[in-house]
Amino acid sequence: MPAAIEVRDVHKRFGELQALSGIDLEIRQGEFFGLLGPNGAGKTTLISVLAGLARADRGSARVMGHDVRADYRAARRSLGVVPQELVFDPFFTVRETLRFQSGYFGVRDNGAWIEEVMRHLDLASKAEVNMRALSGGMKRRVLVAQALVHKPPVIVLDEPTAGVDVELRQALWQFIRRLNRDGHTIVLTTHYLEEAEALCERIAMLKQGRVVALDSTANLLKRVHHLFLRLRLSGELPGELRPLEHGSTAEAHILRLKGFEDVEQALACIRKAGCRIEEMELMQPDLEDAFVDVMQRS
């Protein structure tokens, strides 16, 4: 069985900018995969290479076993992409837009699936509304629907929830999870790292056009060898603990500790200073902590 996505030694330069520097990546069929990195890391360029919107200077890329250059028709039929930008045709209604999108991929008699996609993305009430009249959030929903309309086995979501409301975000992830359970491969880029942590089985982290980490989400979290102690005190934080302060608010201090053995030392220091602990929470590192750790190390 071919990989859903296979990228081998892909390089891409735009003028003086080296956007991709030897990307090697394999995503298995049926995975929910995260592609993370700071702005300018090369995520969107890599997606553009897979979608045929940019041509790699060197290397190869395949979607469901189809080379994106030599077998581009099959590769593009296998891929659905939700872009970052709000790109739309202002002359058509939502339903017309989705019908035309089906036609681009040669899909006939697709009305039932179009209706289902619109229902799951809460677009049914806007089906006859011109695209120009939609809000930004609604346009984002149509972009998601366009990516799904030809039932591609691989779906790439490039910042799909940027600027959308909580209700849409929840509805979108419920629908995407269902597609993943049905066997679709999902590739997600997002700056909402809590989404990636909750959804993705494996994650690749990119920096300056290179893959600097690639592992399961659980293993990436295990790489972070510290934890956090959140404290609300009756008095000032003792001076000895201030070097450990990772952040603070008007109500609480957050200490970054090397391990559980440091917790008792911190509490002993607080007792010695005569402070009373009013609230305490021990917090495990999350994907954001792992991301920052990887970016700093690389």
Average pLDDT for the chain: 90
Asked, for residue 291, whether it belongs to a domain, the answer is no
Domain containing 217 equals 5-221
Could you tell me if 180 and 186 are in contact, meaning their C-beta atoms sit under 8 angstroms apart? yes
Residues 185 and 250 in one domain: no
The confidence score (pLDDT) of residue 17 equals: 93
The confidence score (pLDDT) of residue 237 equals: 86
The confidence score (pLDDT) of residue 27 equals: 97
131-170: pLDDT as tens digits: 999 988 888 889 989 999 999 999 999 988 777 778 778 8
The separation between CA 1 and the C-alpha centre of its own chain, rounded to angstroms, equals 25
The confidence score (pLDDT) of residue 275 equals: 86
The confidence score (pLDDT) of residue 253 equals: 87
168, 186, 221 — which closes off a domain? 221
Asked, for residue 20, whether it belongs to a domain, the answer is yes
Asked, for residue 292, whether it belongs to a domain, the answer is no
How far is it, in rounded angstroms, from Cα 142 to Cα 126? 10
How far is it, in rounded angstroms, from Cα 87 to Cα 52? 17
Residues 25 and 102 in one domain: yes
Mean pLDDT, consecutive 10-residue stretches, the chain (298 aa), reads 94 95 96 95 95 95 96 94 85 94 89 92 92 88 91 92 77 88 94 92 96 95 84 86 78 83 87 87 86 87
The confidence score (pLDDT) of residue 69 equals: 94
Residues 204 and 105 in one domain: yes
The confidence score (pLDDT) of residue 292 equals: 87
Asked, for residue 19, whether it belongs to a domain, the answer is yes
Residues 212 and 234 in one domain: no
Asked, for residue 295, whether it belongs to a domain, the answer is no
Residues 169 and 181 in one domain: yes
Q: What is the CATH number of the domain that holds 75?
A: 3.40.50.300
The confidence score (pLDDT) of residue 38 equals: 93
Contacts of 294 (CB under 8 A, 6+ apart): 205, 207, 212, 213, 220, 223
39: exposed, middle or buried (Cβ count in 10 Å: 0-12, 13-18, 19+): exposed
The confidence score (pLDDT) of residue 48 equals: 95
> 82: closest CA among 146, 27, 33?
146
The confidence score (pLDDT) of residue 245 equals: 85
Q: What is the CATH number of the domain that holds 269?
A: 3.30.70
Residues 244 and 125 in one domain: no
197, 221, 245 — which closes off a domain? 221
Residues 201 and 270 in one domain: no
Asked, for residue 293, whether it belongs to a domain, the answer is no
Residues 214 and 266 in one domain: no
Number of domains in the chain: 2
The confidence score (pLDDT) of residue 248 equals: 67
Residues 249 and 135 in one domain: no
pTM value is 0.83
The confidence score (pLDDT) of residue 276 equals: 87
Tokens representing 241 are 């603990």
Asked, for residue 269, whether it belongs to a domain, the answer is yes
The confidence score (pLDDT) of residue 274 equals: 86
The confidence score (pLDDT) of residue 250 equals: 67
Residues 262 and 199 in one domain: no
Could you tell me if 64 and 27 are in contact, meaning their C-beta atoms sit under 8 angstroms apart? no
Asked, for residue 110, whether it belongs to a domain, the answer is yes
Q: How many CA atoms lie within 13 A of 119 on its CB side?
A: 6
**Which single residue is written with the structure tokens 């609604």?**
138
Residues 277 and 180 in one domain: no
Report in angstroms the alpha-carbon separations of 136 from 56, 86, 129, 180: 32, 8, 14, 26
182, 202, 221 — which closes off a domain? 221
Residues 208 and 242 in one domain: no
